[in-house]
């Protein structure tokens, strides 16, 4: 599984950037349509849940995002 940031909700607070123990996120450099520098999932392969299906072993970022902007996506979905 990997995380995805929904630009409709992210306000660029960067909590995910600072809280992820595996440094999966980076500060954004481009303005979103809402006018925020939304964070970026820059190293999804570093996540504890990379190549995991079913039970997640870390959810710090999804639980910490104040805008519920982070969701999970199956890595298999990206290859289609």
Which residues contribute to the site for ligand SF4 (CB under 6 A)? Answer: 3, 5, 10-16, 20-22, 24, 38-39, 47-49, 58-61, 65, 67, 69-70
Structure tokens at 18: 């600072």
Alpha helices in 1-80 (DSSP H): 15-19, 60-64, 75-79
User: Nearer Cβ to ligand SF4, position 56 or 76?
Assistant: 56
User: Nearer Cβ to ligand SF4, position 14 or 76?
Assistant: 14
Instruction: Kindly state the helix (H) or strand (E) to which residue 26 belongs, with its residue range.
Output: strand 25-26
CB of 76 to ligand SF4, least distance (A): 17
Residue whose tokens read 């006018």: 35
């Amino acid at each position: 599984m990997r995380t995805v940031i929904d630009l409709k909700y992210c306000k660029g607070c960067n909590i995910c950037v600072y809280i992820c123990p595996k440094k999966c996120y980076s500060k954004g450099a481009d303005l979103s349509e809402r006018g925020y520098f939304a964070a970026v999932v820059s190293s999804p392969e570093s996540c504890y849940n990379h190549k995991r299906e079913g039970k997640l072993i870390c959810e710090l970022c999804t639980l910490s995002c104040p805008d519920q902007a982070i969701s999970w996506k199956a890595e298999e979905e990206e290859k289609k």
